[in-house]
Amino acid sequence: AQSVTQLGSHVSVSEGALVLLRCNYSSSVPPYLFWYVQYPNQGLQLLLKYTTGATLVKGINGFEAEFKKSETSFHLTKPSAHMSDAAEYFCAVSAGNTGKLIFGQGTTLQVKP
Amino acid sequence: DVKVTQSSRYLVKRTGEKVFLECVQDMDHENMFWYRQDPGLGLRLIYFSYDVKMKEKGDIPEGYSVSREKKERFSLILESASTNQTSMYLCASSHPSKGQETQYFGPGTRLLVL
């Protein structure tokens, strides 16, 4: 069975600081991993995903994530936070070949001026 | 651009009412999903559908049913709304790709049951 744990329900950074949002997963099969973002009053949109190949994945808006099998992690980073990055971020793992996703609890990112 | 639309952004209903939430996608996706989103719990899958007239229970189907009569439309039904069904409801769709597919989400319906 697959599961996802996001460490920290709220993360606060200053504008221009490094953003690090943590995600650990559990999967009995090679995982496909996703990060989604939800801006206020909107649905979720895909930031990036890891399927196979290069373990460092680049996404939209300057975000990237690294798949580390030995640590069962898929942490999301951005070198310099912008005010517009304030949102809720969800890590997810694919439930096998079913097309279903298992989501983490979400992390709210606050960016202070 | 993929577009997933939901019939209402905000909805207020009374306990015991029958509630219909509609979702339409315009990308001919086979897969469609209904989630509820609650603070601290992330997204939890209520029902999903792989094709017209097909449906499967997700993790929290109790108190809900669904209907998929046309490929582009997936409806969530609360047979008798209760206060514990107050939540944000999100619809999503995807094209099958052996687990690698991106899900595309609608804007959500915030339901308040009084």
**Segment B36-84, tens digit of pLDDT:** 999 989 999 999 999 999 999 999 999 999 999 999 999 999 999 999 9
In chain A, which residues have their Cβ closer than 8 Å to the Cβ of B108?
41-43
* Buried b / exposed e along B59-85 (16+ C-beta atoms within 10 A): eeeeebebbbeebbebbbebeebeeeb
Subunit contact A105:B41, Cβ cutoff 8 A: yes
Looking at residue B99, what is its pLDDT?
A: 78
User: What gap in Å lies between CA A55 and CA A48, rounded to an integer?
Assistant: 12
- Please state the separation of Cα A40 from the chain's center in Å: 17
User: What gap in Å lies between CA B89 and CA B109, rounded to an integer?
Assistant: 5
User: What residue ranges of chain A have pLDDT lower than 70?
Assistant: none
In chain B, which residues have their Cβ closer than 8 Å to the Cβ of A94?
99-100
Looking at residue B96, what is its pLDDT?
A: 87
User: Chain B: nearest CA to A30, how far in angstroms?
Assistant: 11
- A98 in contact with chain B, both atoms CB, cutoff 8 A: yes
Most B-contacting residue of A4, A21, A44, A57 (CB-CB within 10 A), to test interface: A44
Residue B49 has which token pair? 């559908």
**Segment A57-86, tens digit of pLDDT:** 999 999 999 999 999 999 999 999 999 999
Largest CA distance in chain A: 43
* Buried b / exposed e along A49-85 (16+ C-beta atoms within 10 A): bbbeeeeebebeeebbbebeeeeebbbbebeebeeeb
Looking at residue A79, what is its pLDDT?
A: 97
**Segment B29-40, tens digit of pLDDT:** 999 999 999 998
Residue from the list B40, B45, B90 with its beta carbon closest to the beta carbon of A100: B45
The yes-or-no verdict on residue B2 having pLDDT over 80 is no
